[in-house]
């Protein structure tokens, strides 16, 4: 028997149609099996496809997140895009005004809705691990740069695990031409991919340029990556020499794939919040 599930494709970290990072959102997905979810994620061929299900505990909804090749416990732009689709279906009403609580593999994720429509998520707790010199060298080779060109290098786990690397400036990040086969082969096991960042000159529309590569998950370059940006924010917070890390900032991502996304980062006490706008490009019913 064919089931019909509400479906939206949402562009995240943008207020413009056909920019930002798209996520496919399947709503009312309780009766879908994991195998069906994975098949749909392969079919959409987006960096992530999500499935909004009934919560098990305290959440407003439960979210399952799939790449074309597997399931993730957490991802940033799918969280914001799914919250956007959930709110549209609910007429933007929430149990607690302007706030949502999402269940996912990483646990409970708090979200809030700004008056201008931007949705922010509280980044799950991050753990940092220092890579070995050999791992840094392998990452540099995969990116096509010298090890000496890399500043900070940290493996950060926020549910997704990103090898997070700093280059001299935004122009160096944009100029990268990475070897995807070598990136996919990087250790340690369980690595989502590589996120690279560098600073923009002061006074522009963004403070940091970010790129994220995850070929092992079938995503050569993620257009605008929430979890990758969260890892960058976590690294910057601990670096007193990085001006953007001492306060709120804006990251740009997607420059090299014509997506022009903007991720807004805020430091509030011990928490890191990141967010932006989202806009629905496609809506209808998915036959399953």
- Catalytic residue set: 48
Quick one: tokens of 122? 């509280």
Neighbours of 273 (CB within 10 A): 19
Tokens standing for residue 220? 């050569």
Given a contact cutoff of 8 angstroms between Cβ atoms, the answer to whether 52 and 23 are in contact is no
Whether the link from the prior residue into 6 is cis, omega within 30° of 0, is no
| Residue 206: closest CA among 158, 164, 255, 161 | 255
What tokens were used for 10?
């949402």
Count of C-beta atoms within a 10 Å radius of residue 189: 6
What does the DSSP assignment read for 215-268? GGGTEEEESS-HHHHHHHHHHHHT-TT-GGGGS-EEEEE-GGGT--EEEEEEEE
Q: Express the helix, strand and coil content of the chain in percent, nearest 5 each.
A: 25, 35, 40
Report the 10 Å Cβ neighbour count for 133. 10
| CA dihedral over 148, 192, 268, 252, signed as positive or negative | positive
* 73: phi then psi, degrees, rounded to nearest 5: -75, -25
CB 265 within 8 A of CB 250: yes
């Amino acid at each position: 028997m064919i089931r019909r599930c509400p479906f939206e494709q949402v562009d995240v970290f943008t207020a413009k149609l056909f920019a930002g990072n798209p996520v496919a959102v399947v709503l009312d997905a309780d009766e879908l099996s994991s195998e069906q979810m994975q098949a749909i994620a392969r079919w959409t061929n987006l960096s992530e496809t999500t499935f909004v299900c009934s919560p098990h505990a305290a959440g407003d909804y439960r979210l399952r997140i799939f790449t074309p090749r597997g399931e993730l416990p957490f991802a940033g732009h799918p969280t914001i895009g799914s919250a956007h689709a959930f709110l549209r279906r609910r007429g933007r009403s929430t149990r607690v005004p302007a706030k949502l609580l999402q269940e996912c593999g990483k646990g409970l994720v708090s979200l809030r809705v700004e008056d201008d429509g931007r949705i922010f998520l509280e980044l799950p707790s991050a753990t940092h691990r220092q890579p070995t010199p050999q791992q840094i060298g392998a990452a540099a080779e995969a990116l096509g740069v010298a090890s000496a060109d890399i500043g900070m290098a940290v493996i950060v786990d926020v549910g997704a695990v990103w090898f997070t690397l700093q280059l001299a400036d935004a122009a160096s990040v944009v100029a990268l031409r990475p070897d995807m086969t070598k990136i996919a082969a990087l250790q340690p096991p369980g690595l989502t991919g590589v996120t690279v960042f560098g600073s923009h000159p002061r006074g522009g529309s963004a403070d940091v340029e970010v790129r994220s590569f995850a070929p092992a998950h079938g995503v050569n370059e993620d257009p605008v990556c929430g979890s990758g940006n969260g890892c960058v924010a976590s690294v910057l917070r601990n670096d007193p020499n990085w001006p953007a890390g001492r306060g709120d900032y804006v990251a740009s991502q997607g420059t090299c794939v014509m997506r022009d996304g903007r991720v807004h980062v805020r430091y509030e006490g011990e928490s890191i919040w990141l967010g932006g706008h989202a806009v629905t490009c496609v809506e209808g019913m998915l036959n399953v």
